[in-house]
Chain A
Amino acid sequence: MHILVLLKMAPDVVEDLEIAPGGKALDLDCLRMILSESDDHALEQALLLKERHGAKITALALDAPEVDDALFTAAAKGADRVMKVVGMDPGFTTREAARYFSQAIAEEPGLLPADLILTGVQAIDDLDGLVAPIVADGLRMPYLGIVTGVALEASAQAARAIKEYPAGVRGEFLVQLPAVLGIQAAEKPPRYVPVAKVRAAMKSVKIECSQALTLADGGLPLVGVVEMKRNEPAGHAEMLEGKPDQVSGQLCGILAERGLF
């Protein structure tokens, strides 16, 4: 069993986000990039499958600041091979990201055949599409998204995947392999790996590089950001200020006035 995990870095929104001069994009200099949360879950789901069934895991990432950290961490957790696609035009969109992934998958020896291709269901910056369905379509593989659990059938020709629906309802799907799954959450939260193990991986593991090809067809259909701005919540809510006991007293008065307790 070969599981290919596609990883994309995304801005850490815990940090303050700044808009670049020109007002159409985030200021990359002020960003901290982290592995997109659901991609981290995709990696974890791959590791769980490896533990249960034995598998080779290849992690393929797109070059971005901090991507080496993410890949060494993936190796420290149990990925067998780590590779990054380099040389993309900066500021590529999600749809372009999907095509960079697809090109690398097609071109680099050993990425195919893959029985499962796992990636996050959606990243917070997926403005012009989602990676998983595009890669699936390109490879003519079935796609299922919002997946929160994967079990292999005994034949290893198919998997049972749990997909989330609204209101806590889930669906159990039988998916013929190879397939691409957009993972929402792994069956367990992503594991913690000690820093020492990541450091060891930095010494012993080599990140392979795949050179991105220029996207040939003169670009994708137009999606142009006209303006980007920070959501300024200030002014919306009435803000209560003071020490915890002061604001609590204030809030309590407001709730009591409304007969809420």
Chain B
Amino acid sequence: MTGNICVLAEQWRGQITEVTYETLALGREVADQAGVPLTAILPGSHCRELARFLGAADAVVYIDHPLLAETVPQTCAEAVAQAMAGERPRALLVPLTNISLGIGTLIGVRLGAPVVNFCRDIRVADGRLLADCVMYGGKIEATVEAGAPSGPGPAILGIWPGARQAEKGRAEREVPVTDAAVVLEDTGAIRLCRYIEPEAGDVDLTKQEVLVAVGRGLQDRANLPLAEELARALGGAVCGSRPVIDQGWLPLSRQVGKSGLTVKPKLYVALGISGAPEHIEGMKDAALIVAVNSDPQAPIFSVAHYGIVGDAVETMPALTAAVEARKAAGQHA
């Protein structure tokens, strides 16, 4: 692994996750730029056969242990740190997902290695490893140098979902697999008892062609009917960002984003949503994105096709009226 670019292959409920393929696609580019091999590190229990899905890498290091059946961050970090001990990979790319969050930090601490969170892109320039990071809820971009080449240990880079297309990192083939032996202590301190499946909502957001999404800029639960009327006029459904769900204004089945659903409607109207990376990851592939936000600097305008700087609460009824008027005119024509 020394000198290599490595990717932590994430598996969840028996499958390699989509974000792993995205991260492999990015890792492949960086490895090619640096002229070094790409290694995928796959922790798990009795899942060596998953290695063949990691064909974007040149080699797979498989870490098998019963305690790795479910991804518990401290256990997984300990296993990966042991597998990497004595080796000096240039970088380890870790997907920033709800499954792996915290693992990168813990590996960095255990190996005394630098950690860079929030990476959207990685590149090698003049021998330096540079990361483009999106921070402060999407409002700031930073270019960060991730550890001197001669520095201690590899650079641990947390990669935002969506950094590359998963298709580019998906390759099924026989890859050389090495087994890494690790010694893990079963403290029983953290045990997954069960998964709680999401309750089916009254509508399936993923099947809607039009979504009217509201965020904290909705200001008040009392304004929710304005969004519902707009959704009705457009023939779609209402969904929301995390704060709207956390406040109980909409049920969990209506949350879009990292912890919620990933949607790809024909039209996504984002009202009073700032455009934090965790939200964008759930809706960036909508065919047409319209954003209404009172802040001209809101990051949502970076993914929107059309933008309106203004008050969402005022815009909703105006847009509903305009849609209704146009529909009426169409019927009479």
Q: Tell me whether A64 is interfacial, beta carbon within 8 Å.
A: no
Q: Tell me whether A223 is interfacial, beta carbon within 8 Å.
A: yes
Q: Type the 1/0 row for B179-212, where 1 means its CB is closer than 8 Å to any CB of A.
A: 0000000011111111111100000000000100
Within 8 A of A (CB), among B244-272: 246-248, 252-253, 255, 258-262, 266-267
Report chain A residues within 8 Å CB of B311: 244
CA gap between A173 and B248 in the complex, in Å: 23
Report chain A residues within 8 Å CB of B197: 169
Q: A237-B291, A237-B306 are in contact. Are A223 and B115 (CB under 8 A)?
A: yes
CA gap between A172 and B135 in the complex, in Å: 30
Question: Do B235 and A261 touch across chains, with their CB atoms under 8 A apart?
Answer: yes
Q: Tell me whether A189 is interfacial, beta carbon within 8 Å.
A: yes
Question: Do A228 and B140 touch across chains, with their CB atoms under 8 A apart?
Answer: yes
How close is B118's CB to chain A, nearest CB, in angstroms? 6
Question: Do A236 and B304 touch across chains, with their CB atoms under 8 A apart?
Answer: yes
Q: Tell me whether A239 is interfacial, beta carbon within 8 Å.
A: yes
Question: Do A222 and B115 touch across chains, with their CB atoms under 8 A apart?
Answer: no
Question: Do B135 and A223 touch across chains, with their CB atoms under 8 A apart?
Answer: no
Question: Do B267 and A255 touch across chains, with their CB atoms under 8 A apart?
Answer: yes
CA gap between A162 and B252 in the complex, in Å: 14
Contact among B145, B195, B274 for A13, CB-based, below 8 A:
B274
Question: Do A239 and B309 touch across chains, with their CB atoms under 8 A apart?
Answer: yes
Q: Tell me whether A112 is interfacial, beta carbon within 8 Å.
A: no
Question: Do A244 and B318 touch across chains, with their CB atoms under 8 A apart?
Answer: yes
Question: Do A189 and B109 touch across chains, with their CB atoms under 8 A apart?
Answer: no
Q: Tell me whether A231 is interfacial, beta carbon within 8 Å.
A: yes
Segment at the interface with B among A52-60, A81-89, A174-182? A174-182
- Interface residue range, chain A: 35 or more
Q: Tell me whether A208 is interfacial, beta carbon within 8 Å.
A: no
How close is A160's CB to chain B, nearest CB, in angstroms? 7
Question: Do B308 and A222 touch across chains, with their CB atoms under 8 A apart?
Answer: no
Segment at the interface with A among B27-35, B39-47, B84-92, B295-303? B295-303
Question: Do A251 and B306 touch across chains, with their CB atoms under 8 A apart?
Answer: yes
How close is A248's CB to chain B, nearest CB, in angstroms? 4
Q: A236-B302, A237-B304 are in contact. Are A171 and B322 (CB under 8 A)?
A: no
CA gap between A244 and B212 in the complex, in Å: 17
Within 8 A of B (CB), among A126-161: 126-130, 132-134, 136-137, 142-146, 160
Segment at the interface with A among B48-56, B58-66, B95-103? B95-103
CA gap between A16 and B113 in the complex, in Å: 33
Within 8 A of A (CB), among B285-331: 288, 290-291, 295-311, 314-315, 318-319, 321-323, 325-327, 330
How close is B147's CB to chain A, nearest CB, in angstroms? 5
Q: A13-B137, A244-B310, A248-B319 are in contact. Are A225 and B274 (CB under 8 A)?
A: no
The main secondary structure of chain B at its interface with chain A is mixed
Report chain A residues within 8 Å CB of B188: 176
Question: Do B142 and A146 touch across chains, with their CB atoms under 8 A apart?
Answer: no
Contact among A124, A133, A252 for B73, CB-based, below 8 A:
A133
Which residue of chain B lies nearest to A259 when distances are taken between CB atoms in the complex? Answer: B266
Question: Do B105 and A173 touch across chains, with their CB atoms under 8 A apart?
Answer: no
Question: Do A137 and B106 touch across chains, with their CB atoms under 8 A apart?
Answer: yes
Q: Tell me whether B114 is interfacial, beta carbon within 8 Å.
A: yes
How close is A254's CB to chain B, nearest CB, in angstroms? 7
Contact among B118, B140, B259 for A166, CB-based, below 8 A:
B259
Q: Tell me whether A206 is interfacial, beta carbon within 8 Å.
A: no
Q: Tell me whether A17 is interfacial, beta carbon within 8 Å.
A: yes
Segment at the interface with A among B1-9, B148-156, B164-172? B148-156
Contact among A142, A165, A225, A240 for B144, CB-based, below 8 A:
A225
CA gap between A233 and B143 in the complex, in Å: 18
Q: A130-B105, A162-B196 are in contact. Are A26 and B140 (CB under 8 A)?
A: yes
Report chain A residues within 8 Å CB of B309: 239, 241
Question: Do B198 and A245 touch across chains, with their CB atoms under 8 A apart?
Answer: no
Q: Tell me whether B173 is interfacial, beta carbon within 8 Å.
A: no
5 shortest interchain CB distances as A-B pairs: A168-B198, A233-B301, A237-B307, A142-B189, A221-B114
Report 25 cross-chain contacts, Cβ distance below 8 Å, ordered by A residue.
A95-B108, A122-B101, A133-B105, A134-B109, A162-B196, A165-B98, A166-B99, A167-B262, A169-B197, A175-B190, A182-B101, A185-B242, A221-B112, A221-B114, A221-B115, A225-B144, A226-B130, A230-B297, A234-B296, A240-B307, A244-B311, A248-B318, A251-B319, A252-B322, A253-B326
Using a CB–CB distance below 8 Å, which chain B residues touch chain A? 12, 17, 73-74, 77, 97-99, 101-102, 104-106, 108-110, 112-118, 130, 133-148, 151-153, 187-198, 210, 233-235, 242, 246-248, 252-253, 255, 258-262, 266-267, 274, 288, 290-291, 295-311, 314-315, 318-319, 321-323, 325-327, 330
